[in-house]
Amino acid sequence: MQSNYARTENMSPDEKFRAVANLKENLEDNFISLGQLLSEIKRSKLYRMKGYEAFRDFVEAEYQLSSSLASKLVQVFDTFIEEMDVDEATIKEIGFDRLQMIRPLVAKADWQVRDEWVELAGEMPTKDLREHIKEIRKKEKEENLDLKKVFTDQYLERMTAILNCSRTELNFKLALYFQDADPEAVKQVVRERQRRFESETAKEDNN
């Protein structure tokens, strides 16, 4: 793919450093070129020529650019240009903000879903896209709910109500309750109840 951003092959390290300084002044328009340069500098460890051991120290000291923003610029370029080969016009139309919003979801998706996310980001306003992503993450969280955690939280809530105490105080009271208990008997009860809990959970998952 031939594009405007692909002009760095014959640039010297110093030219790349100067280009980053110039491009960052108008980040929204130049995020593709800036992401490419930062990606190359990070990958080839050119920042060591400036005396830095870490990429984050280099961007923060040399360009007053937060390491988190620099990483996002690199990730957007690597994901949508390097990996997916999305054309530059589409990338610019979507814009940096929406691209970095969908990037975590794109990174873990298969190719068909990746293309769907890019198309969606190009069609939806930023506010609507943010709400859509929020709903997707909420749904994923509900589907991946840890039933052991749910059981534990419900038990602790019930016990703090019964004993009329805080979670911290509950730990103390439970320690008092178990201090003279037979360890082997406790382990036996726990094993049996855990086996029953996991068996019942497996049945629910298969239904």
Nearest Cα to Cα of residue 91 among 31, 41, 151: 31
pLDDT in tens, 25-35: 888 889 999 99
pLDDT in tens, 139-191: 877 665 567 777 888 889 999 999 999 988 999 999 999 899 898 888 888 88
pLDDT in tens, 68-84: 999 999 999 999 999 99
- Inform me whether the pLDDT recorded for 90 exceeds 90: yes
What are the C-alpha distances in Å from 114 to residues 75, 80, 85, 94, 107?
A: 15, 9, 12, 14, 8
Nearest Cα to Cα of residue 35 among 15, 62, 6, 2: 6
Contact 1, 84 (CB under 8 A): no
Q: Model's pTM, two decimal places?
A: 0.63
Please return the burial class of 8, using the count of CB atoms within 10 Å of its CB with bins 0-12, 13-18 and 19+: middle
> How confident is the model at residue 101, as a pLDDT?
94
What's the distance, CA 197 to chain centroid? 32
pLDDT in tens, 114-152: 999 999 999 999 999 999 999 988 887 766 556 777 788
- Inform me whether the pLDDT recorded for 204 exceeds 60: yes
